[in-house]
Amino acid sequence: MVGAGPAGLAAALQLGRQGVRTVVLEKGRPGGQVLTANRVENYLGLPPIQGAQVAGLFVRQALLAGVRIVPSEAVEITPGELFEVRTAGGPVYRAKVVVLATGALPKKLDGLDAPAEGMVRYDTDDLESFRGKKAIVLGGGDAALDRALRLKAVCSSIRVVSRGSITALPALVGDCRRAGVKMVQGVGKWDVRRSNGGLSVKTGKGSFWADMVLASIGKEPRSPLLFRPLEELRPSLPAGETTMPGLYVIGDLAAGRYRQLSVATGMGVASAMHAGEYLKRRYGVQARESPWK
């Protein structure tokens, strides 16, 4: 398992419950992108809850099932009779099954000069860097408004600036209005430049200044470990099985625009069930055995 976000943890948990010893390689904090969600409100069975709390629940449940989370970065996967997963400065793991759940990366702003590039953020993992600052969030989707609400707790002021119409859920729009988040939509193109110790965002509806800018304009699959283009591997929903037997690609890496917590965990469970059937069919591996060498 590569990646300890919701998809990877759900797959690991399901494999653990099947009795399959499972290793999860994760270079960062276990929990994935949900760690920085202001609030999770659409996960069935949970009341509105902070994203970090959700991540904690996921990690705890996986550990209770015997899942081993290794703080190591996977840097290369080599296919063969056994997959070889090489880690940065560490051991090489050999496996009959590999599940890739490496998530997605934020899209970067185009045309930034070096001074501005160093001041633009793409996530809210470091809230303290925003404390007491005037901030602008670029974007108009669910993630942009969720981040604006998270920043509202520490920033002196927040403004959301969207190129087109704000497309976030009405509930998020209402929450932002009640929290005093200013929103400007339909600004067309924007140009971000260093100005007066902060950043100036020039748009078709005027210029806006802030100490810091957070860009939330979409995500791209994080796929540097793939030895073939994602289009060739053709991961299928919901299990993420690919054209390479024993390789599964799940979560935000494979889900396209359906990047939701419930989709990620559902794919994780489906991939684990499919992997269990694959191991038994091809290798005769029973639940009590391990796909790892």
SS3 73: coil
Residue from 162, 51, 36, 173 nearest 106 by CA: 36
Q: Do domains 6-105+219-283 and 108-215 have the same CATH topology?
A: yes
Helix, strand, coil percentages (3-state) for the chain, rounded to 5, are 30, 25, 45
Sheet containing strand 198-203, strands side by side: 190-195, 198-203, 206-210
Distance (Å, whole) CA 293 – CA 284 = 15
Residue from 40, 247, 275 nearest 150 by CA: 40
pLDDT tens digits, residue range 142-187?
999 999 999 999 999 999 999 999 999 999 999 999 999 999 999 9
Q: What is the model's pLDDT at position 226?
A: 83
pLDDT tens digits, residue range 33-60?
999 999 999 899 999 999 999 999 999 9
Residue 124: which pLDDT band, with cuts at 50, 70 and 90?
A: very high
Delimit the domains of the chain by residue range. 6-105+219-283, 108-215
Name the pTM for this structure.
Answer: 0.87
Residue 290 reports pLDDT greater than 50: no
CATH of 108-215, one of 3.30.70.20, 3.50.50.60, 3.10.300.10, 3.60.15.10: 3.50.50.60
pLDDT tens digits, residue range 187-246?
999 999 999 999 999 999 999 999 999 999 998 888 778 888 888 899 998 999 999 999
Are β-strands 212-215 and 134-138 bridged in parallel, bridged antiparallel, or unpaired? Answer: parallel
pLDDT tens digits, residue range 63-120?
988 899 999 999 999 999 899 999 998 899 999 999 999 998 899 998 888 888 888 9
Q: What percent of the chain has pLDDT above 70? A: 97
Residue from 24, 220, 212 nearest 136 by CA: 212
CATH of 6-105+219-283, one of 3.40.190.10, 3.20.20.30, 3.30.499.10, 3.50.50.60: 3.50.50.60
Residue 291 reports pLDDT greater than 50: no
Question: Which phi and psi angles does 207 have, rounded to 5°?
Answer: -105, 145
Distance (Å, whole) CA 278 – CA 163 = 46
CB atoms within 10 A of CB 156: 12
Distance (Å, whole) CA 206 – CA 161 = 11
Cis, bond preceding 238 (omega within 30 deg of 0): yes
Give the dihedral of Cα atoms 218, 224, 229, 230; nearest 10 deg: -50
Residue 285: which pLDDT band, with cuts at 50, 70 and 90?
A: low
> pLDDT: is 255 or 155 the higher one?
155
Q: What angle do CA 134, 32, 214 make, to 5 degrees?
A: 20
CB atoms within 10 A of CB 96: 19
DSSP sequence for 21-43: --EEE-SS-TTGGGGG-S-B--S
